[in-house]
Chain A
């Protein structure tokens, strides 16, 4: 039960942190349509996060709902992958980060729709549908930026190179993953690596971008060891409910 709560928390936290990052673009996007699109992607991710985190709270059974989990945990209690907490940077950084995540999430949710935990299967099915749409968009942007102007190509390549080291963690299993695989709830993260690489390599090639070589991969987000970037994100996101715990709309 503890492992399942931890497992669900990881999906919820990754969706949440990426939602918060993405939402920060609102009113700053390069064109109106992008502003709307980014807001909508963020909304989907917030919605997914709530579905996961409500369930995580129910499994934990200590009276914490999604809001409680979101606003009253410190960075070390967060279980998102490191990739999603990386700063927004420029538009290419954001789109490449989104593409790497979407390509992974599409595969992960596809697997989870077969989970023998009905609730997990249902949330995954809902999330898979939305992720498919996000993925087509982030992939389009990757191609447009990579195969675009000299400047957009350079920035997209730089984003790929910078963010590549955070992708290894997506396919790294630990004892929680193993337990979830053993009881038919979860999947083996390693099994997603090949299909992910296939899709990402193909998209990078179309975008005339170079896939980075194998190198050091950062890890630890799923176990609560985060980069300093997450602390700033949480500080901004949590300040109101932390300062005024009884505040309501």
Chain B
């Protein structure tokens, strides 16, 4: 199986049933050896190698992933020589994709990446570091989320993981992604009013007006006529509202 290329972009894949199992190779030659990606699955030797190199700025970025079934489970590292730091691109993109499937235990419709609480994924030497920020300082889901992250990564063979708790920059509901907001609404939970989270941090002595919190429309019938029943709802992040039109109660993710 071979697709030789004539011009700028070359893609190459080889399945060698007798020898090394799989090799994939891609090269973009439009600007010299601008981008190269290389993957190799060697059933007899080291199990998986992936290699990418961006040569546009000299040896600016290199990414390397290595799965050693007999040795340490996964090594992923990349070298960004412009900053002199180690980074992994492919492997880390993969981790983000896995985290995208870890759901918030209190808002099961929303993943932790939708929620905006995953702040960084990086590799320190041969250890993967996932930086999480709490929504509320006393949120009982914090430990559950950390455990879920570890389990999700371990089930994909990533064993050496460290969770880092990070407070700054401060999480506000403005970190919830558009997809997260859409998913909340689909599940009958009113998403927080936008653009409010960052304005409440520093407090004035003047009493805030209630309007600052926004008046959520009903997630079921979209009526604007809604009433706050309780400032606190079923979890620390939600308030309880009722729609005055369809009379259904609903949860509102507190905007702050």
Quick one: given A36-B230, A113-B201, A129-B200, are A43 and B236 in contact (CB under 8 Å)? yes
Stretch in A133-141, A177-185, A238-246 with 4+ CB within 8 Å of B = A133-141
With a cutoff of 8 Å between Cβ atoms, the chain B residues found around residue A131 in the complex are: 203
Q: Are B203 and A110 in contact (CB under 8 A)?
A: yes
Quick one: given A113-B202, A129-B200, are A47 and B137 in contact (CB under 8 Å)? yes
Where chain A touches its partner, the secondary structure class is helix
Q: Are A44 and B136 in contact (CB under 8 A)?
A: yes
Within 8 A of B (CB), among A46-63: 46-48, 50-51
Is A202 an interface residue, CB under 8 A from the partner? yes
Q: Are A45 and B256 in contact (CB under 8 A)?
A: no
- Cβ distance B143 to chain A, nearest Cβ, rounded Å: 10
* Interface-centre pick from B230, B231, B233, B256 (highest chain A CB count, 10 A): B231
Offer 22 A-B interface pairs, CB within 8 angstroms, sorted by A: A36-B230, A36-B232, A37-B231, A40-B232, A42-B138, A44-B137, A47-B134, A47-B137, A51-B137, A110-B203, A122-B168, A125-B168, A126-B170, A128-B202, A129-B170, A130-B137, A133-B254, A133-B256, A195-B205, A198-B205, A199-B205, A203-B207
Q: Are A129 and B207 in contact (CB under 8 A)?
A: no
Q: Are A107 and B236 in contact (CB under 8 A)?
A: no
Q: Are A125 and B232 in contact (CB under 8 A)?
A: no
Is B234 an interface residue, CB under 8 A from the partner? yes
| Interchain CB contact (< 8 A) of A44 among B200, B208, B236 | B236
Residue of A nearest to B137 (CB): A47
Q: Are A43 and B170 in contact (CB under 8 A)?
A: no
Q: Are A40 and B236 in contact (CB under 8 A)?
A: yes
- Cβ distance B233 to chain A, nearest Cβ, rounded Å: 7
Chain A interface, number of residues (Cβ within 8 angstroms): 44
With a cutoff of 8 Å between Cβ atoms, the chain A residues found around residue B200 in the complex are: 129, 132
Quick one: given A122-B168, A129-B172, are A33 and B138 in contact (CB under 8 Å)? no
| Complex Cα gap A69–B137 (Å) | 18
Chain B interface, number of residues (Cβ within 8 angstroms): 28
With a cutoff of 8 Å between Cβ atoms, the chain A residues found around residue B234 in the complex are: 36
Quick one: given A44-B137, A122-B167, A129-B170, are A36 and B233 in contact (CB under 8 Å)? yes
Binding site for A on B (CB under 8 A): 134, 136-140, 167-168, 170, 172, 200-203, 205, 207-208, 210, 229-234, 236, 240, 254, 256
| Complex Cα gap A50–B165 (Å) | 13
Is A94 an interface residue, CB under 8 A from the partner? no
Is A157 an interface residue, CB under 8 A from the partner? no
Quick one: given A43-B140, A46-B138, are A133 and B231 in contact (CB under 8 Å)? yes
With a cutoff of 8 Å between Cβ atoms, the chain B residues found around residue A198 in the complex are: 205
Within 8 A of B (CB), among A184-200: 195, 198-199
Quick one: given A125-B201, A202-B207, A203-B207, are A47 and B231 in contact (CB under 8 Å)? no
A-B contact sample (6 more), CB < 8 A, given A110-B203, A118-B168: A33-B240, A42-B138, A106-B203, A121-B168, A132-B200, A132-B208
Is A20 an interface residue, CB under 8 A from the partner? no
Q: Are B138 and A44 in contact (CB under 8 A)?
A: yes
- Cβ distance A24 to chain B, nearest Cβ, rounded Å: 16
Is A127 an interface residue, CB under 8 A from the partner? yes
Is A123 an interface residue, CB under 8 A from the partner? yes
Q: Are B203 and A107 in contact (CB under 8 A)?
A: yes
| Complex Cα gap A127–B170 (Å) | 10
With a cutoff of 8 Å between Cβ atoms, the chain B residues found around residue A36 in the complex are: 230, 232-234
| Interchain CB contact (< 8 A) of B167 among A123, A199, A202 | A123
| Complex Cα gap A23–B221 (Å) | 36
Residue of A nearest to B206 (CB): A199
| Complex Cα gap A195–B204 (Å) | 9
